[in-house]
């Protein structure tokens, strides 16, 4: 499992809130830092894939754990 610098709990939030909260947090992070995001919205999988591509950040990991979706995102920009 990847190490991370920040953790964002977006469980119970529906689209687009997990992305919006991640975007806000990424704005406070420095390049190279990693955030782990936990969400329960199944739509978050495609949302975070698209978000990473659009923002130029790297989606390191995307897994489902007991009905939750865990993402690891590295800030590159």
The neighbour count for residue 67, using CB atoms within 10 Å, is 8
Contact 9, 39 (CB under 8 A): no
Given a contact cutoff of 8 angstroms between Cβ atoms, the answer to whether 69 and 63 are in contact is yes
Active site (annotated) includes residue 15: yes
33-73 pLDDT, tens digit per residue, is 999 999 999 999 999 999 999 999 999 999 999 999 999 99
Q: Which of 13, 15, 45, 59 is catalytic?
A: 15
pLDDT in tens, 7-41: 999 999 999 999 999 999 999 999 999 999 999 99
The pLDDT, as a whole number, for residue 43 is: 95
Q: Minimal CA–CA distance to 46: which of 16, 6, 25, 24?
A: 16
The alpha carbons of the chain give a radius of gyration, in whole angstroms, of 11
pTM, 2 dp: 0.93
> Is 6-74 CATH 3.30.365.10?
no
User: In the prediction, which pLDDT does 35 show?
Assistant: 98
């Amino acid at each position: 499992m990847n190490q991370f610098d920040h953790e964002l709990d977006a469980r119970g939030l529906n689209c687009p809130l997990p992305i919006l909260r991640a975007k806000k947090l990424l704005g406070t992070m420095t390049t190279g830092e990693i955030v782990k995001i936990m969400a329960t919205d199944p739509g978050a999988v495609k949302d975070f894939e698209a978000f990473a591509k659009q923002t130029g950040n790297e989606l390191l990991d995307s897994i489902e754990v007991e009905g939750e979706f865990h993402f690891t995102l590295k800030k590159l920009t």
